[in-house]
Amino acid sequence: METRRLDGATIVVTGATSGIGFFVAEGLAHLGANVVIAGRSATRGSTAISQLPGGGAHRFLRIDLSDIDSVRQVGRHLGTLDRLDGLIMNAGVIAAPRTYQEGPFGVESTVAVNVLAHLELLRLTLPALAASPHARVVSVGSMLTRRLPFDPDNWLAQQSYRPRVAYAMSRHAAEILGFELDRRLRASRSTVESIVTHPGGAIDALTPDRAGIHRRPLIVRAAARGLGPAFRFWVQGKEAAAEPAVTALSARSLPAMAYIGPRHVAAGRPVLTDPVDSSRDPALGAWLWERAEALLHAPLLEPG
C-alpha cells in the first residue's frame, strides 16, 4: 500500500499512554500528525507526549471508557471541533475479569468497554469527522477471531461467561460493526471511511524501550537480540503491531471493507487481508448494528 504523510492532520488515539496504542501515536507523529492521546491518566499522557516527535503539537484528553459520562463529555467536546481527521478506537480491556462483571450500558464489561463505549464516543465525534475531507475511523479486531467463532446467542455472556471468550466476542463485535459502519457511511455518501485492523501478536521482549513507557530488563533485551528470523515470523513487538493502525490512516487509498493486518497473521508488515467470514457478513452486521443502537438508546448515524 502506498502511504502518505499526515502533516497537520488531527487524529485521536484511545489508550495511547502505553502498549500498542502508544506506538500507534508515535507512528502517526512521525508522519506529521497532531495526535490527541485519550486515556485515563494525565501523568501517563504527559509522559507519552514527551516521547513523541513534535511534542508541542500533541495533547491529552482524559477519558474513562468504563464511565459513560466521561465518554460522552469527551465525545461532545471532540464533536464540536472544526474538523477531526481520524479516530483510532484502540483502548480496551485485554485481560477480561475472571468472573462476570457488568459494565457500561448494563452489559458484560469487556464488550461494553471495548466496543459500546467506543461506539458512543464515535457517535458524538462524527460531526467533526464529517467536517474533514477524508477522515477515517479505525476499529481494532484480533487474530483471536480466527480461533473462537462469534456467538450471536452469547456475545454478551447471556448464557455463560469465560474471560477469553468475552475478549474474543469484543473483538468480533468490533470487526463486524466496523465493516457495517463502512457499508452505511458509503451508502450515505459520507466522506468518512471506516477501516478495520488487527495487530497480530506482540510481546514485550521485542518491544523497543521508551522512557517512562516501556523498559525491558537487560537480560530480556539480550535474549531478544538472540531471537532468529524464524521466531520473528510468528511474533513481533508492539511497535510493529501498531503498524496496521498507522497504515489505516496513512494509506493513500483503500478499498471498501478494507481489513489490514500483519502479512503472516501474527507478524509481518501490514497488508490488506481477509477477516473471518462472519466479520463481513452483511446480515450479521445489520443485526449487530440494531442491537448496538438499542443498547446505546441512540442511532449511531443520523438519518440523511
Report, as residue numbers or ranges, the catalytic residues: 167
Burial 192-203 (b: 16+ CB within 10 A, else e): bbbbbbbbbbbe
Alpha helices (runs of H) in the chain, residue ranges in sequence order: 19-30, 42-50, 68-79, 109-111, 117-130, 163-187, 218-225, 229-232, 238-241, 243-250, 282-296
**What is the Cα 168 distance to its own chain's centre?**
14
In angstroms, the CA 192 to CA 132 distance is: 8
Q: CA distances (Å), 85 to each of 69, 81, 213, in order? A: 24, 11, 26
* Residue 248 near residue 136 (C-beta atoms within 8 A): yes
Three cell numbers at 182? 463502512
Q: Other CB atoms closer than 10 Å to residue 266's CB: what's the count?
A: 19
Residue 114: what residue type?
Answer: N
Burial 117-129 (b: 16+ CB within 10 A, else e): bbbbbbbbbbbbb
The secondary structure of residue 182, as a DSSP letter, is H
Residue whose cell numbers read 469527522: 129
Residue 60: what residue type?
Answer: F
Nearest to 3 by CA among 192, 190, 254: 254
In angstroms, the CA 129 to CA 131 distance is: 5
